Amino acid sequence: MKKRFDEKAIVLENRRINDRYYKLVFSSAPLSRNIRPGQFLHIRINEGQDPYLRRPFSYFRTSPGKVEILYEVLGRGTLILAEKSKGDPLMVMGPLGNGFRTAIGKRKRVLVAGGIGVPPLVNLAEQFSSDYLLIGTKSKAEILPMAELKKVKAKVLCATEDGSVGFKGFVTGVLEKVIREEDSRQLFIQTCGPKSMMKAVMAIAAKNGIEGEASWDESMACGVGACLGCMVDTKTGLKRACADGPVFSFSELVP
């Protein structure tokens, strides 16, 4: 059984970094060790019962004794989280779930990220050499600051729906361009983001005979596989996103 911790962490930094994302940094030696990109943690937003359920967040970056996450304000829980200040306590459980494959042989690693799926793939590209990190957003205002991408070991290509940065259109357009320029037999795709984007990525991969993985999130109430509230439809039956995933191979998932 994988070891996990439920720790009282202390907020070190919590600030807005662009029009979409906040960055939260907290201290925790146990939660910063032996993390695989793609794993997640569960945060109890308040010490009381409001909000009742913890919230799941991907690991964005770790360093000795510190953990960083990115998040956007989408509801009451994340709105309360955005109000946390340096020195505030947080109960954090992790590491949870199964992460991305890090060993892919001699194949070229192509990472396709969209929305809040960007953080775990930046984490992967910082720790393990990758060939491409493709990032899709609606506009320039949502692109991560370059300071957050300077340690990425990959060629970063951006797509914006309004054309304000990089390729105009969806990130899948950039992926198709990369596939045309490379030997598809030598590629391995890892993706995280909106389900519509990941389904499109999987369709392109299938068309070109490319293997890969997707971080397939569902609503995770408990985070440890007990509540069965985050079931994912796979070719071998329903599986728990939090405990059996959130990373699944393309070949496992039902398109």
DSSP code string of 19-36: SS-EEEEEE-HHHHSSPP
Same domain, 130 and 90: no
- pTM strictly above 0.85: yes
The 8-class DSSP code of residue 148 comes to G
Indicate whether 28 belongs to any domain.
Answer: yes
86 located within any domain? yes
Q: What is the CATH number of the domain that holds 49?
A: 2.40.30.10
Contact of 30 with 198, CB cutoff 8 Å: no
pLDDT in tens, the chain (255 residues): 567 888 999 999 999 999 889 999 999 999 998 899 999 999 998 776 777 678 899 999 999 999 999 999 988 889 999 999 999 999 999 999 999 999 999 999 999 999 889 999 999 999 998 999 999 999 998 889 888 999 998 999 999 999 998 999 999 999 999 999 999 999 999 999 999 999 999 999 999 999 999 999 877 778 777 888 889 999 999 999 888 999 999 999 987
Please indicate, yes or no, if residue 231 is contained in any of the structural domains: no
Are residue 73 and residue 44 in the same domain, yes or no? Answer: yes
Q: Say yes or no: 72 and 164 in one domain.
A: no
Note whether residue 255 is domain-resident: no
CATH assignment at residue 133: 3.40.50.80
With respect to residue 250, please indicate whether it lies within any of the assigned structural domains: no
Same domain, 77 and 151: no
What are the residue ranges of helices labelled H in 15-170? Answer: 29-32, 76-82, 118-127
Clarify whether residues 91 and 170 are in a common domain: no
Based on the fold, state whether residues 85 and 128 are members of the same structural domain: no
133 and 83 together in one domain: no
Are 82 and 9 found together in one domain? yes
Domain contains 235: no
Are 127 and 202 part of one and the same domain? yes
Q: Please measure the distance between the N-terminal and C-terminal CA atoms of the chain and give it in whole angstroms.
A: 30
In a domain, 102, yes or no: no
Residue 207 shares a structural domain with residue 153: yes
- When divided into structural domains, the chain yields a total of 2
133, 122 Cβ separation under 8 angstroms: yes
Say yes or no: 89 and 156 in one domain. no
Residue for token digits 């039956």? Answer: 237
190 occurs within a structural domain: yes
According to DSSP, the residues that pair with 155 across neighbouring strands are 132
Q: Residue 127's domain spans which residues?
A: 108-215
HSE-CB at 165 with a 13 A cutoff on CA atoms is 19
